[in-house]
Amino acid sequence: MTRAAVVYEHGGPVEVVDVTLGALGPHDVRVLIAASGVCHSDVAAQSGALAFPTPIILGHEGAGTVAEVGAEVTEVVPGDRVALSAIISCGRCRPCVEGTPNLCEWGLPIIFSCRQPDGGLRATDRTGRDIYQFASLGTLAEEVIVPDIATVKIPDDVSFEAAALVGCGVLTGVGAVLNRARVEAGDTVAVIGCGGVGLNVVQAAAMVGAASIIAVDREDAKLRLARQLGATDAVDARSADVVAAVRHLTGGRGVDTAFECVGRGALVRQAWEAVTISGTVVAIGVAAGDDVVVLPAQELSTSEKTLMSCLYGSSRPRLDMARYLQLYRQGKLRLDELVTRRYPLDDVARAVADLHAARNARGVVVMG
Ligand SMILES: [Zn+2]
Ligand SMILES: [Zn+2]
C-alpha cells in the first residue's frame, strides 16, 4: 500500500488516497518517488482542460530511487537514482529515426492514454477501482510503477528536486530555445509568462547569448526571478500594453523570437504582434481544448513570420536530461532557484491551489 494524489473526476478535488500497486510487468520499474514538481498540465488534467481519463494520479515531473525492476529490464537496477521522462519513445518509428523522439508514433498515444505500454493499469484504490497515471507516470505519489524507458539515471550529486524539475519544466523551456527556436547569440527574445517553463526559456536564452530578453508576466516575484535568471527587461502585463512595450524596447522592430508560455490563444496573437517582420513565435503553453489562435490572414502574405508549435521542448529526453543536468552541475543552468515552495504530499491540494493563484515559479512535493 502506498499513497498518491488522485483526481476522481474533472473539476473535482485532488485527494491523497491509499493505492495498491499491481504486479510488475517485464518492462516495469517500481520507483520510490522523492520529489515531484506540480505543473500547469497537472492542473489542466484536474480541470479537464486536458482531457485525460479519470480517476488519475497526477504528476509527471518526478525523480526518485528504483525499488524493483521487471524481468526484462536492463537499463536500471534497484538502488539507481532516476529522473522520469514524461515522453517515451520506441527508437524505430519515423519521428524517432528522424531525431524527434518527442513525436514518437508509438509513445505519444500511450502517454496520452495514461496507461502502461501493454495497455494495462498498475494502481487501484481501496475499493479496487483502477487508476490511470498522468503520462503513464503519476509522480505525485510515494511509489509508482512506470515503463523502464521512462527512467533516466542521474548523477549522485544531483538532488532529486533538481532532477524532478528537468523532467518537464526544464526540458520544455530550455528545449524550446535550443532545439526548436534555435536562438542565436545576439538575438532578441520575449517570454510571455514566466512560470516554471518561461523562466527556463529566459535562462536558456541567456545561456546562448541572446542580446535582449524581455520577460512578461503579471507577478512581481516572477519578473524579479526572471531578471535574476538573465532577463534584460521586465514588462508588467497588468499595467503595460505588452506589444507596445516590446516594440519600444526593440527600437520599434519587435523581437526575433517570442515564446508564449501560458497556453492562451490570445497570447499567441500577442506574441505574433510582438515579433519582427521575419520573427518567430514559439507556442509552448498548454491551452484549453476549445481555445483557438486568431491571426491576421493578410499578414501571412505581407510578412514572413513563423508560428511554431512545440511539444515537450522538441526534446530527446534521454540525451537532453543528461545535458541539462550537466549544465546545472556546472552552474550554467539554475534549478534550485526555481523552487518557490516545498509541500508534503498531504498538502498537494494546497500546492495545486498555489499554482492556480500563480504564486509559485515551481511548487515541489517532497515525499516524507
Ligand atoms: Zn509539465
Ligand atoms: Zn518512435
Gap from CA of 168 to ligand 1 centroid (Å): 5
CATH superfamily of the domain spanning 173-311: NAD(P)-binding Rossmann-like Domain (3.40.50.720)
What pLDDT does residue 359 have?
A: 84
Ligand of minimum distance to the alpha carbon of 89? 2
What pLDDT does residue 357 have?
A: 85
Ligand of minimum distance to the alpha carbon of 94? 2
Instruction: Place 211 in a pLDDT band, splitting at 50, 70 and 90.
Output: very high
Residues 212-247: tens digit of each pLDDT = 999 999 999 999 999 999 999 999 999 999 999 999
Indicate the range of 40-44, 252-256, 297-301 predicted with least confidence: 40-44
In this structure, which CATH number among 3.90.79.10, 3.30.70.100, 3.90.180.10, 3.20.20.140 belongs to the domain 2-153+335-366? 3.90.180.10
Q: What is the rounded average pLDDT for all residues in the chain? A: 96
What pLDDT does residue 206 have?
A: 98
What pLDDT does residue 368 have?
A: 80
What pLDDT does residue 346 have?
A: 97
Gap from CA of 304 to ligand 1 centroid (Å): 31
Gap from CA of 93 to ligand 2 centroid (Å): 4
Beta-carbon neighbours within 5 Å of ion ligand 2? 89-90, 93, 96, 104, 106
Gap from CA of 362 to ligand 1 centroid (Å): 11
Gap from CA of 253 to ligand 2 centroid (Å): 40
The percentage of the chain sitting over the pLDDT mark of 70, rounded to a whole number, equals 100
Which residues neighbour 357 within 8 Å (Cβ) at sequence distance 6 or greater?
none
Residues 354-368: tens digit of each pLDDT = 988 888 889 999 998
- Nine cell digits for residue 259: 515564446
What pLDDT does residue 272 have?
A: 98
What pLDDT does residue 62 have?
A: 97
What pLDDT does residue 148 have?
A: 97
Residues 330-351: tens digit of each pLDDT = 999 999 999 999 999 999 999 9
What pLDDT does residue 100 have?
A: 96
Let me know: does 5 contact 140? Beta carbons within 8 Å: yes
Taking residues 87-95, report their average pLDDT.
Answer: 96
**Residue recorded with cell 516495469:** 28
What pLDDT does residue 361 have?
A: 85
Ligand of minimum distance to the alpha carbon of 102? 2
Ligand of minimum distance to the alpha carbon of 107? 2
Gap from CA of 85 to ligand 1 centroid (Å): 10
What pLDDT does residue 98 have?
A: 96
Alpha-carbon distances, residue 296 vs 290, 293, 301 (angstroms): 20, 10, 10
Residues 92-117: tens digit of each pLDDT = 999 999 999 999 999 999 999 999 99
* Segments making up each domain of the chain, as ranges: 2-153+335-366, 173-311
Taking residues 11-29, report their average pLDDT.
Answer: 97
What pLDDT does residue 358 have?
A: 81
Q: Is the pLDDT of residue 277 over 90?
A: yes
Residues 296-324: tens digit of each pLDDT = 999 999 999 999 999 999 999 989 999 99
Gap from CA of 253 to ligand 1 centroid (Å): 33
Q: Is the pLDDT of residue 146 over 90?
A: yes
The percentage of the chain sitting over the pLDDT mark of 90, rounded to a whole number, equals 94
